[in-house]
Structure 1
Amino acid sequence: MATPVLFIHGLWLHASSWDDWVQLFRDAGYEPVAPGWPGDAATVEETRANPDAVAGHGIDDVVDHYARIIDGLATKPILIGHSFGGMIAQKLLGLDLGVAAVAIDAAQIKGVLPLPLSALRSGFPVLGNPANKGKAVSLTPDQFRYAFGNALTEQESRDLYDRWSIPAPGKPLFEAAAANFNPHSPAKVDTANESRGPLLLMAGGKDHTVPETVVRATLKQYRHSHAVTDIVDFPDKAHSLTIDAGWREVAETALSWLKEQGL
């Protein structure tokens, strides 16, 4: 039986942004699925047309949503998430709902202290207005370029924006921003779990949204567990690394690591 792979997107990208990864992993013998977040429509255009459907969903809602999807799979999946999807993947792995996880430029979990200025600027379109907590927020092309496409040409960034960008719920960003002040934060991950499957953290050296310092601080949160926790850096890549012209290098690195884990 082929091992299922569950792809989890982050804020501002539609689930179909994983299409190339899905095909690559299927060709490699896995059984990949890439469902959207609660409220996401089947297409980018439909999701843009009804932003209220995604508004108000927080981290716990998204975790529960994917946990129900996992419950419908034949076996526990490999989890691969980008940005907030990387945080969700870590939470699901900590709950022993996956056999392994790859967290790519993952949003900061509770306990991670660095908050670089570029990350604040990337989140400002949401965090700049407290009313956005219950709303869905879209990025402008310029905001997308800063948050995702800063290592790309202006044209490639605009092309990716036009193809994949969707409204995102503001709530997860507010929850993550307040995580270290909330003892019951939904951004808390069971980093001490000794029985969980292996975890690979990926960092983009030019990422404005989740800078490498945040990913390395996340790695330190796992120091109390002997379960496999690895990290790989892509020095010249930004937050667009899963969808831009260099996506295959990232995907093949994930595949190679999974093979090393015997998965």
Structure 2
Amino acid sequence: MMNPVTAPRSVVFVHGLWVHSDAWDPWLGLFEAAGYAPIAPAWPGEEGSVELTRANPGALAGRGIDEITAHYAQVIDGLPNPPVVIGHSFGGLIAQKLLAQGRAVAAVAIDPGQIKGVKPVPLAQVRAGLPILKRPRNKHRAVALTKRQFRFGFGNALSRDEADELFERWTIPGPGLPLFEASTANFKKVSPAAVDTRKADRGPLLMIAGGKDHTVPLKVVKAAHSLYRNSPATTDLEVFPDRGHSLVFDSKWREIADYTLAWLRRQAV
């Protein structure tokens, strides 16, 4: 067994709703070349390929934030050293939870899903989530986006051709439950979307926002960042004004990945 002291720093990538974990593959190669030991585990119920996951959507149904977080915590428990956790969309929410739990040395939350305490609900976000939230039965189902819904929620900053290509390549059904949990978090005393934003003895956190994101608009990310104002731990925010929600797996993914690597080097992790 490799010595934890000499083993490369582990990095765990966590994807969000409607996108398969294989979309992280370019990041895995880049981070491995940079000296890290990266992995991109699937969500519980997700199959090993886009095609197989599309063929078995029921396996994802009913999976909520707590279950998904616990799944990644179990993965982390088997690693040789505490990892960096990098998450996109709901994966960004989960990355924040794992950091607050002390399971990561640092975290990067990219266009992170809305945590409890965030109050702005921009119209674009309402429109992006409404196709799922308007049907209560979707809370217990796995739901796929249409091509049109994907273009609005993920690919609005891209050409139609690129958005459609990404839709065909990476999209999978996603459990509706996390979206319902996040959207009702501020109305519940206890919510799985809650994160301890006051925690002082945690590792550094970077939040990244796309200025044209419809699914998690910039205003939402800024509001989440402000919730950390009472923590002395490092909490940075970087905005990419011309990027939408597809920023981690579209043709300009390297811009986000290079910035993330540079930030991690500055944190010495």
Q: CA deviation at 1:244?
A: 0.6
| Of 132, 136, 140, the match for 2:138 | 132
Which residue, out of 91, 100, 105, partners 2:106?
100
5 Å matches for 1:203-218?
203-218=209-224
Give the Cα separation in 1 of the matches to 2:126 and 2:33.
39
Q: For residues 166-181 of structure 1, what are the structure 2 equivalents within 5 Å?
A: 166-181=172-187
1:120 aligns with 2:126: yes
> Structure 2 residue aligned with 1:160, among 166, 172, 177?
166
SS state at 2:209 partner: strand
The Cα of 1:124 is off from its aligned counterpart by 1.3
- Cα offsets for 1:69-110 (capped at 9, x unmatched): 000101110000000000000000000100000000001100
Q: Which runs of 4+ in 1 moved over 2 A?
A: none
Give distance in 1, aligned partners of 2:134 and 2:159: 27
Name structure 1 gaps, 5 residues minimum: none
- The residue number in structure 1 matching 2:152 is 146
What's 1:29 paired with?
Answer: 35
1:224 deviation in Å? 1.0
Q: What TM-score results when the alignment is normalised by the length of structure 2?
A: 0.97
Q: Return the alpha-carbon distance in structure 2 between the equivalents of residues 28 and 36 of structure 1.
A: 23
Residue number in structure 1 paired with 2:83: 77
Q: Residue 252 in 1 paired to residue 258 in 2?
A: yes
After TM superposition, give the deviation of residue 125 of structure 1 in Å: 1.9
Q: Deviations over 1:1-49 (max 9, x none)?
A: 2000000000000000000000000000000000011100000000000
In 2, Cα distance between equivalents of 1:108 and 1:172: 10
Distance 1:100 1:223 in 2: 17
State the percentage of identical aligned residues.
57
Could you tell me which of 12, 30, 36 is aligned with 1:6? 12
- RMSD (CA atoms): 0.4
The equivalent residue for 1:193 is 199
